[in-house]
Amino acid sequence: MPMMTAEQYEKSLRKLNLKVYMFGEQIKNVVDDPIIRPSMNAVAKTYELAHKPEHEDLMTAKSHLNGAKVNRFTHIHQNIDDLVKKSKMGRLLGAHTGCCFQRCVGMDTLNALSMTTYDIDQKYGTDYYQRFEKYLEYVQANDLTCDGAMTDPKGDRSLPPHKQKDPDMFVHVVEELPDGIVVRGAKAHQTGAVNSHEIIVMPTISLREPDKDYAVSFALPSDAEGITYIMGRQSCDTRKLEGEKNIDRGNLYFGGHEALVVLDDVFVPWDRVFMFKEYDFSGQLVEQFASYHRQSYACKVGVGDVLIGAAVAAAEYNGVERASHIRDKIIEMNHLNETLYCGCIACASEGHKEPSGTYYVNTLLANVHKQNVTRFPYEMARLAQDVAGGLMVTLPSEKDLKSAEVGKWIEKYFKAREGVPTENRMRILRLIENLTLGTAAVGYLTESMHGAGSPQAQRIMISRQINLDQKKRLAQFLCGIEE
């Protein structure tokens, strides 16, 4: 089957029978819901660009399974070039959508499982890697969007899973059957969950023997019986109900979403189980996935490109683009954004081949990159808000602009540079608001902070990867200290 088009992707979602709740009510038509649809549009862009000749090199790859051309989001990295192109693809899509396009987590899950399943088989003689490759072939052949589900609610963070008062705070096996397993629990903060064809579950922390029932990884169709999705709220999300092209939306076309995914005694057949109580490999899977996903924050560079462009436009509309302090702020935004790009390219360029044949990023540099992502977008947002001015958050609505009574005053008093329509000024300010305070801020700022693990998780990984003794020996040698 050839790669799906954006139109085919939308049709494929309409065939799903998802159980989705938002604002306390079940959503009957997920695809056309005005709050959810912008996030679907963002995923659709990953299908659309894959069919553009000018983007084919970044957006597609050759499957190592059968040589077929596949969407890069379903590809297993075969060399350094694949890792670098993954970063460049993330920046490209971030710039095209101005938000999270949601397929990275599935791609990173597939690549992490390709390594961990192989290593489990080498130790225990299991057949997880064979199962995984068969599953991967299915994903590639049908060009599916996968949701990688790692984050458990966790309950009392001071306690391991088996000591939780409620055992369902971590996804676990509740029954083992001849033809599969039954699982229960939930996964939180699931980006793009209701836009996905598949849900791939992984452990969320490193586990020990008493927690072996929680050491489980598996894949399910997103509309499998027993799965319920509860949509998360976002700032300004109901503005999407005010009209498809409403100025107050900021980003008129794209957005993201997160959901709580509840697994209420869900059956998983054995051929879709990729880890079953091998607790000693849970930490490896978590770290390999996390490192890949921290590289994936190349997307924030693309969104940063949009924010910089919006700040430039706002300065021009206000007539201050030649002011030295404004120019310096724009330069600083570019410096920060390109520094982020350096990090994601570096961890890809310093990658290596694992025993499974999959190429893996440099984990130290991937975590350094993500640590920078927890900081630089916030400073870029501050600078953009500085350039934009206070009107960004005190601006009246589009309805006021179009009002027969007060619209003339909006036109008169919010006009800036001659030749620039007041409406254009309003649109660019709303976009900056959207990127730094509104619904897109979830994907740009909050996700920059907490996505792929908290800042402290990256610092822990950095501490594990650096070789302080070697650095100390280098210094001691140069100044003549012998130990």
How is the beta sheet containing 273-276 ordered, strand by strand? 146-149, 198-201, 216-221, 273-276
Give the other-Cβ count within 10 Å of 81's Cβ. 14
Q: What is the DSSP string of 61-98?
A: EE-TTT--EEEGGGPPP-SHHHHHHHHHHHHHHHHHHS
Active-site annotation holder among 297, 317, 341, 444: 297
Active-site annotation holder among 198, 258, 278, 287: 258
Query: How far apart are the C-alpha atoms of 213 and 168, rounded to whole Å?
Result: 11
Q: How many Å is the maximal CA-CA distance in the chain?
A: 84
Q: Is 236 a catalytic residue?
A: no
Active-site annotation holder among 60, 146, 151, 299: 299
Q: Is 104 a catalytic residue?
A: yes
Active-site annotation holder among 99, 104, 146, 347: 104
Active-site annotation holder among 74, 191, 358, 374: 191
Query: How far apart are the C-alpha atoms of 38 and 244, rounded to whole Å?
Result: 10
Q: Is 292 a catalytic residue?
A: no
The candidate with the shortest Cα–Cα distance to 256, out of 43, 446, 87, is 43
Find out whether 286 and 191 touch, Cβ atoms under 8 Å: no
Q: Is 191 a catalytic residue?
A: yes
361's CB contacts (< 8 A; 6+ apart) are: 83, 291, 292, 295, 347, 348, 350, 351
Q: Is 359 a catalytic residue?
A: no
Q: Which two tokens stand for residue 127?
A: 């057949």
Active-site annotation holder among 117, 293, 358, 360: 293
Q: Which two tokens stand for residue 86?
A: 């993954």
Active-site annotation holder among 64, 77, 96, 100: 100
Q: Is 447 a catalytic residue?
A: yes
Secondary structure (3-state) at 183: strand
Task: Kindly list the catalytic residues.
Answer: 100, 104, 191, 258, 293, 297, 299, 447
